[in-house]
Amino acid sequence: MDCNKKYRRIVIKIGSNVLTREDGRPDTTRISALVDQIAGLYRAGVEVILVSSGAVASGRSVLEPRVGRIDTVSARQLFSAVGQVKLLNRYYDLFNEYGIVCGQVLTTKESLSTRRQYLNQRNCMEAMLAAGVVPIVNENDTISVTELMFTDNDELSGLVAAMMDAEALVILSNIDGIYDGSPADPASQVIRRVAPGRDLSQYIDTARSSRGRGGMTTKSRISSRVAGEGIEVVIANGRRDGILTDLVLTGRDVVCTRFEAAPRPASGVKKWIASSEGFAKGALHLDAGAAAAISQSKAASILAVGVTAVEGEFERDDIVRILSPEGAPLGVGRISCDSATARRNLGRKGLKPLIHCDYLYLE
């Protein structure tokens, strides 16, 4: 990370692969080493929000030997219910050795999907940070099933970083960064810097790893998006000794993939909208004139007169996708009316904007 910069607030995401040994048991030495380093950052005045995976793996190590045949959804619910307690107890004890209090934040995709719930979540974590408490965030796997789930905790950590206005997001995995070929090929090298907007999808092997959920594909996609919102993102190896201290405090040149932050940080509400594509309830198809207007001016709103079709059912203040006349995604925005009203007003002039420019985020 930028070693000349003192970070005020960062989000650190730790993947299941970092916290779990090859045989599936929790790697207590590693968890302890990471907490030691986070305590060092805390002492140096950096506010840390931890997004920790590992509940399912932790519960599986306790329960797998004793449960019989069970479907995958129930297994995830059961393992996470037990594993989350075990994981948080361990964090609590380890932080306590440094006199640091940590607290649990369990969330769901649904809990971030409306602006009001989003602000409630943010307020909770702001209150924790103000009281010197380290928030430890995870998805509530006991109730998040199938389509209600985040892609994985990489997606969640990106949302948390934007929501909490963090300056940097550190994603710790079991690998040094994103390689420019198969990580198994000795000729492959870690891509060290990624300029805003650069697409790395060609390098990623889409096969997922055994314990994680979204794999490197989501890490890369989320990192680009978060960096585009003005937040530096680093993917690094959580199993390397001293990784967090090196990245955040000493600035030692450690192998990692760093996504440079785009210079244009979005406003708070725009950050929420930008990260909300996954919650979109519908879509607006623009005509050529409207598409040109919003691409040319930041002050242009989307008016009913420039919309040719409305897709899906939505309520006022929901997030909708904006599509070009050819159907290409242009961005997302918060709609000012429900879908029935939007359809009724299609093509009409002189009405208030369907999406005001302050609530419009273009890719």
Ligand X SMILES: Nc1ncnc2c1ncn2[C@@H]1O[C@H](COP(=O)(O)OP(=O)(O)O)[C@@H](O)[C@H]1O
Ligand Y SMILES: N[C@@H](CCC(=O)OP(=O)(O)O)C(=O)O
Chain residues binding ligand Y by CB under 6 A are: 15-17, 53-57, 80, 138-139, 141, 152-153, 212-214
CB of 33 to ligand X, least distance (A): 16
Which residues 6+ apart lie within 8 Å of 204 measured at CB? Answer: 178, 215, 216, 217, 220
**Cβ-contact 228, 180 below 8 angstroms:** no
Q: Which does 54 bind (CB under 5 to 8 A by kind): ligand X, ligand Y, none?
A: ligand Y
Residue range at the interface with ligand X (CB under 6 A); choices 13-21, 40-48, 63-71, 327-335? 13-21
The alpha carbon dihedral of 202, 226, 161, 1 has a sign of positive
149 lines the binding site for ligand X (CB under 6 A) = no
Contact with ligand X (CB under 6 A) among 26, 83, 214, 228: 214
**Cβ-contact 42, 129 below 8 angstroms:** no
179 lines the binding site for ligand X (CB under 6 A) = yes
13 labeled part of a ligand binding site: yes
209 lines the binding site for ligand X (CB under 6 A) = yes
Complex with ligand Y: residue 53 or 275, whichever CB lies closer: 53
CB of 122 to ligand Y, least distance (A): 20
141 labeled part of a ligand binding site: yes
Residue range at the interface with ligand X (CB under 6 A); choices 34-42, 106-114, 171-179, 290-298? 171-179
Sheet of 232-237: strands edge to edge?
102-107, 134-139, 47-52, 9-14, 168-173, 232-237, 257-259, 193-194
Residue range at the interface with ligand X (CB under 6 A); choices 25-33, 169-177, 264-272, 347-355? 169-177
53 labeled part of a ligand binding site: yes
Residue range at the interface with ligand X (CB under 6 A); choices 9-17, 21-29, 133-141, 225-233? 9-17
Q: Which string of DSSP letters, residue by residue, matches 57-99?
A: HHHHHHHTTT--S--HHHHHHHHHHHHHHHHHHHHHHHHHTTT
Q: Supply the Cα-derived Rg of the chain in whole angstroms.
A: 21
**Cβ-contact 51, 138 below 8 angstroms:** yes
Complex with ligand X: residue 72 or 202, whichever CB lies closer: 202
Which residues 6+ apart lie within 8 Å of 303 measured at CB? Answer: 290, 349, 351, 353, 354
Tokens for 135, please give them.
């928030």
233 lines the binding site for ligand X (CB under 6 A) = no
Distance CA 92, CA 82 (A): 16
Q: Which does 140 bind (CB under 5 to 8 A by kind): ligand X, ligand Y, none?
A: none
Complex with ligand Y: residue 155 or 167, whichever CB lies closer: 155
**Cβ-contact 285, 327 below 8 angstroms:** yes
Provide the CB-side half-sphere exposure for 206 (13 A, CA). 3
175 lines the binding site for ligand X (CB under 6 A) = yes
Restricted to residues 41-100, the positions that interact with ligand X (CB under 6 A) are none
Residue range at the interface with ligand X (CB under 6 A); choices 70-78, 113-121, 207-215, 310-318? 207-215
Kindly report the length of the chain.
363
CB of 174 to ligand Y, least distance (A): 9
CB of 216 to ligand X, least distance (A): 4
CB of 182 to ligand X, least distance (A): 7
**Angle value at C-alpha 214, between 18 and 252, nearest 5 degrees:** 45
Distance CA 80, CA 77 (A): 5
Q: Which does 141 bind (CB under 5 to 8 A by kind): ligand Y, ligand X, none?
A: ligand Y
Complex with ligand X: residue 48 or 56, whichever CB lies closer: 56
Tokens for 108, please give them.
């769901």
153 labeled part of a ligand binding site: yes
Q: Among 77, 138, 81, which Cα is nearest to 108's?
A: 138
Contacts with ligand X, residue ranges (CB under 6 A) = 15-18, 173-175, 178-179, 183, 203-205, 209, 211-212, 214-216
Binding site residues, as ranges?
A: 13, 53, 141, 153
Binding site residues for ATP, as ranges?
A: 13
